Structure 1
Amino acid sequence: MKSIIYLLCITLISISCVQSQNKTNDNMEYNKLTLEEERVILHKGTEAPYTGEYTNNKRSGMYVCKRCDTPLYRSSDKFDSHCGWPSFDDEIKGAVKRLPDADGRRTEIICANCGAHLGHVFLNEGFTDKNTRHCVNSISLKFIPEQNKMIKKAYFASGCFWGTEYYFMKANGVKHTAVGFMGGHIDNPSYEQVCQKNTGHLETTEVEYDTSKTTYEDLIRLFFETHDFTQTNGQGPDIGPQYLSCIFYADDNEKEIAEKYIDILKTKGYKVATMLKPLSTFWKAEDYHQQYYEHKGTKPYCHVYKKIF
């Protein structure tokens, strides 16, 4: 009898170990999450309204699960509900699962593949003909843009990236903007690290533009007309090496265009302090920096448009 019990215990322990190992292996297949991503995705938290990266994203493409990369939503189903979070009136069939929320009132939505918390779904609000609103945390998603040969990217540093982005995101032909850091000597720096002024990074704005609607020269002119390119120690009241004026060029053509406008400014009597540097890795800043003034509803304190050309 003791032998049978012993064998049974060994068998149960073995099964438990195998299940534990499989669970570990399953977890290892998922993408690594930051602490804030875990708070929302695993522990069903909510990001603050109007702070998410994709709230105002209007680019064409696909939204996938941040945890497992499963496609969840198409950009064609995204709409502006003015609620502070990305909204969709439909999901990819079978990709999103609905569950009764713990509060007993709402309906939670999760990734059907990995169980990642996405947000909540609301019905019969009248926003679209489908009468459905998937209210989703940006942090639960990853956006995969649609490939378009007419879309290019340019990179500019002109002081606080909040102000630089403010003007570029409103420019004709610009499809998307993001702020981050470029030109430094450490990988994936945080805002706090860059503020210590020893990483070598400049606060930089990434500008995604449609070449059928605008040109690199248009962007260069806007760059010079929206900041003090003669200031040598920062921009306005923001003093420090991370606030210097710089154009990061991708090729010789972009460099020649930038040099052309610097020469024009010099003939106008300006002492141009703008640096020209070859493109390097763009490290995106934290989500709360993205489209900052759009979310805040105010205007830049150190960037003002002044027509020059």
Structure 2
Amino acid sequence: MKRMMYVLLFSLIALTGCAQNQKQKQDSPNYRPLTAKEEMVIIHKGTERPFTGKYDKFYEEGTYVCKRCGAELYHSSDKFDSGCGWPSFDDEIEGAVKRTPDPDGMRTEITCNNCGAHLGHVFLNEGFTNKNTRHCVNSISLEFIPAGTSNKATSDTAYFAGGCFWGVEYYLEQEPGVSSVESGYMGGNKNNPSYEDVSYRHTGHAEVVRVIFDPSETNYENLAKLFFEIHDPTQVNRQGPDVGSQYRSEVFFRTVQQKQIAEKLIGMLELKGYDVATRVTPAAAFWQAEAYHQDYYEKKGGTPYCHKRVNRFSR
């Protein structure tokens, strides 16, 4: 069914969809406004001059967050002085940073896994620390939150896989406090996969949605509960008529707190007699799906054919 829709829709929207999606990302009301210098680095992947950034020789205790979206990226305990002229970290907060090989194959870019903001590059096996990893980050891409201070981020991110991403997206984007839902791929072994790759070439990726939400209006537990109620978490490698490992049920957590919430909800369902098959794994690189997959039911009309909401927690 989805293959037929691909043929019909691709010619109509593929040419404009990518540009529209990129504009929506840059203009999101939940992103902080950027100066021209910040845009040069964060959006256009520039590099600030070495030894000029405010966090190069800076070692206060706290957390470094993305300048663009406020997502937490690095703990101060993982920062070290490499002498390179840019802030250096030998570890990131789990699931916070995405790695992508540069087109020339020489270096590996690091970006915020929440909003795609350019951070810098990562280098391995240099011997600076026992972890043998150096995240070389532009100061201008970061904002520092001192220990004991609340990071009043305007957005947070969740990743869910529960069958065809069209249906999961449909329900989650209607939830109050959710600003955007994007369909994509995660959890496999191929960079920048296509729908054809995920469907037919055993990449290991699942069909995933990335949910951007306002923590002041909703929270991760509300979204996770909704996720468990809009698909059948007892099915293995399928959802309704869609069969295959790409349709598996999986929660990709960004933080330890998200992991604990997902496991708590699974425990609640198991106490109610559900044989839950949902995996709980760390978030990895998120690869946005093709434009014709985004907001599928909004464009097509109708409602999901293999998802419906079932009250599983209050009964």
Match of 1:248 among 245, 249, 252: 252
Match of 1:196 among 195, 200, 207: 200
Letter in 2 for 1:172: P
1:1-309 equivalent positions in 2, closer than 5 A: 47=15, 52-53=20-21, 59-60=28-29, 149-309=153-313
Displacement of 1:295: 1.0
The question of whether the paired residues in 2 share the 8 Å contact of 1:172 and 1:214 is answered with yes
Letter in 2 for 1:175: S
Letter in 1 for 2:245: P
Q: Secondary structure at the match of 1:229?
A: coil
Displacement of 1:52: 4.7
Larger Rg, first or second structure (1 or 2): 1
Q: 1:217 to 1:46 in 2, by over 3 A?
A: closer
Letter in 1 for 2:306: C
Residue ranges of structure 1 left out of the alignment (5+ in a row): 1-38, 40-44, 70-141
CA RMSD between the two structures: 3.3
The question of whether the paired residues in 2 share the 8 Å contact of 1:52 and 1:288 is answered with no
Q: Secondary structure at the match of 2:226?
A: helix
Q: Secondary structure at the match of 1:261?
A: helix
Displacement of 1:54: 6.9
Q: 1:143 to 1:216 in 2, by over 3 A?
A: closer
The question of whether the paired residues in 1 share the 8 Å contact of 2:183 and 2:294 is answered with yes
Partners in 2 of 1:143 and 1:185 — Cα distance? 20
Partners in 1 of 2:210 and 2:18 — Cα distance? 20
Partner of residue 15, structure 1? none
Displacement of 1:150: 2.6
Q: 1:266 to 1:46 in 2, by over 3 A?
A: closer
Q: 1:154 to 1:49 in 2, by over 3 A?
A: closer
Letter in 2 for 1:262: I
Q: Structure 1 length as normaliser, TM-score?
A: 0.56
Query: Percent identity between the aligned chains?
Result: 45
Q: Secondary structure at the match of 1:53?
A: helix
Partners in 2 of 1:308 and 1:46 — Cα distance? 38
Partners in 2 of 1:188 and 1:161 — Cα distance? 17
Displacement of 1:59: 2.9
Partners in 1 of 2:209 and 2:250 — Cα distance? 11
Letter in 2 for 1:53: N
Q: 1:225 to 1:212 in 2, by over 3 A?
A: same
Displacement of 1:53: 3.1
Partners in 2 of 1:150 and 1:174 — Cα distance? 12
The question of whether the paired residues in 1 share the 8 Å contact of 2:230 and 2:307 is answered with yes
Partners in 1 of 2:183 and 2:14 — Cα distance? 23
* Stretch moving more, 52-61 or 246-255: 52-61
Q: Secondary structure at the match of 2:160?
A: strand
For each residue in 1:218-259, what CA deviation from the matched residue of structure 2 results, as whole angstroms up to 9, or x when unmatched? 011000000011011311100000000000011211111111
Displacement of 1:201: 0.1
Partners in 1 of 2:241 and 2:283 — Cα distance? 27
Displacement of 1:143: 10
Q: 1:242 to 1:55 in 2, by over 3 A?
A: same
Q: How many pairs were matched up?
A: 192
The question of whether the paired residues in 1 share the 8 Å contact of 2:169 and 2:181 is answered with yes
Q: Secondary structure at the match of 2:210?
A: strand
